[in-house]
Structure 1
């Protein structure tokens, strides 16, 4: 990737190569300087080289691949083994997030790095019949394709959480670095989305999120990068009212894309594949 704020002058493959050379040597460390403990580090199947979103329920882990890949929803066990793959009847334009409630999966087809898409949506997929899929349009207030610049706008998203009757979307704010939070109604079309909250102090772009009910907080993951395009991933926690609580460095990893919360401060993450590192499923424990 490249952009004026985060990855100026570096191509995606070059940036990943630079970043993941040290990561390949350190990703099995049992801890981080920030106090995060790495519990498991699992190489994923080659079918998941571009793993993006992540969702967990009591028994399984669910993930998708991002833009241009087959429109498949993968079910994994906690060893990272694919136990089921379901092809959905919708094009994968730029799938970036997956979450769910008891009745539906929700897949965020709202990746928008260039800021030029006019068909942003969340796919509402019946858990009883995944062939039953309905798009929920994502229409941002003040969204202007003509004015948006590549990697220099705030109308991109990769993180989404299911909460009650709404989906909570976190912007990937390339331009301002201020995260915008949106609520999308699950049951009806929301005409225009305007932010319900803004979060400053996040050390990069947000790529995954989940709600930690045990601790009544959101947990988000993402990364920042320097002028050479070298990723520095992080985990952060927010209050239920979207106030920033804490941030942690996630040393030894690169392009971390998905997150789901389990019990007792444990979290599953996925890392996308790169020229020097395979895709991974990672289990970590946050400091108490």
Structure 2
């Protein structure tokens, strides 16, 4: 989510922030005592000031910028240096997430702050030929453009995970604060998406996610925010069945957007630039 868009909706965002901020002090498990260890804190290149999604494989880290930016897929090394940039032949309407399997990248062009988009999709990009792209439409059940209001609906998304033959989408539920989980078929057009799980107790909106196969759990990241551009990020873990396990504050950071899991309880995060912070790649270790 671009911070300038956030400020443009300051009136309604402030109303939402008053609803969201109390949740920042709640905790399901150890959220009041972080226990998170920051291992690396790297300032990113100015080309990545609006870094949004994040995906890691054994050797590289991949990221994208969000709405209004060039449709580039960036490859980074573990020092945060850009080693490759590929411009894809698709418009970046509002790219918010990237994940992958052995054959394809999946880019979530489903950012939808205003709730008015009719072209939400995941771009299925061949890893062998990034010019070969197939859109997978994202059509939510009960989605009504006429009723949706800016920052006051549940049909926005910024977090997506590849698991087997499906993509797992987590909603950015501005209105209800109940995170909805959707499954999208990788191989064919999925009809209307209805939630397979609904999560209460998440201390803010979800902006990034990955599956931690070593611990058989999902790890998600997000934040609470206010109209002044101040962010209170968190990390949470979920069971493979989407039950909330634990939440942790991520003190000292801001608009955290992407997340990918590495080995031994370590994860990489990206932070988008804002008036109060710079774009960063952050490596942290969760409590054992």
Give TM-score, length-normalised by structure 1: 0.90
Q: Residues 50 and 247 from structure 1, CA distance in 2 versus in 1: closer, same or farther, beyond 3 angstroms? A: same
Deviation per CA, 1:96-140, whole angstroms, max 9, x where unpaired? 000000000000000000000000000000000000001000000
2:103, 2:65 → 1: CA distance? Answer: 22
Kindly state the Cα deviation for residue 275 of structure 1 after the two structures are TM-superposed. Answer: 2.0
Mean Cα deviation higher: 211-220 or 3-12: 3-12
1:142, 1:29 → 2: CA distance? Answer: 33
Kindly state the Cα deviation for residue 183 of structure 1 after the two structures are TM-superposed. Answer: 0.2
Q: Residues 89 and 3 from structure 1, CA distance in 2 versus in 1: closer, same or farther, beyond 3 angstroms? A: closer
Kindly state the Cα deviation for residue 230 of structure 1 after the two structures are TM-superposed. Answer: 2.3
Runs of 5+ consecutive residues of structure 2 not aligned to the other structure: none
Kindly state the Cα deviation for residue 231 of structure 1 after the two structures are TM-superposed. Answer: 1.0
Q: Residues 30 and 269 from structure 1, CA distance in 2 versus in 1: closer, same or farther, beyond 3 angstroms? A: farther
Deviation per CA, 1:9-56, whole angstroms, max 9, x where unpaired? 848999999999999999999999510000000000000000000000
2:198, 2:66 → 1: CA distance? Answer: 26
What value does the CA root-mean-square deviation take over the aligned residues? Answer: 5.1
Q: How many residues align?
A: 288
Kindly state the Cα deviation for residue 226 of structure 1 after the two structures are TM-superposed. Answer: 4.6
Are the counterparts in 2 of residues 2 and 11 from structure 1 also a CA contact under 8 Å? no
2:34 is matched with which residue? Answer: 34
Q: Residues 26 and 237 from structure 1, CA distance in 2 versus in 1: closer, same or farther, beyond 3 angstroms? A: closer
Q: Residues 21 and 276 from structure 1, CA distance in 2 versus in 1: closer, same or farther, beyond 3 angstroms? A: farther
Are the counterparts in 2 of residues 101 and 162 from structure 1 also a CA contact under 8 Å? yes
Are the counterparts in 1 of residues 110 and 157 from structure 2 also a CA contact under 8 Å? yes
Kindly state the Cα deviation for residue 168 of structure 1 after the two structures are TM-superposed. Answer: 0.1
Are the counterparts in 2 of residues 218 and 237 from structure 1 also a CA contact under 8 Å? yes
2:220, 2:188 → 1: CA distance? Answer: 26
Q: Residues 129 and 146 from structure 1, CA distance in 2 versus in 1: closer, same or farther, beyond 3 angstroms? A: same
1:23, 1:198 → 2: CA distance? Answer: 17
Kindly state the Cα deviation for residue 244 of structure 1 after the two structures are TM-superposed. Answer: 0.2
Are the counterparts in 2 of residues 4 and 152 from structure 1 also a CA contact under 8 Å? no
1:24, 1:225 → 2: CA distance? Answer: 10
Mean Cα deviation higher: 36-45 or 220-229: 220-229
Give TM-score, length-normalised by structure 2: 0.90
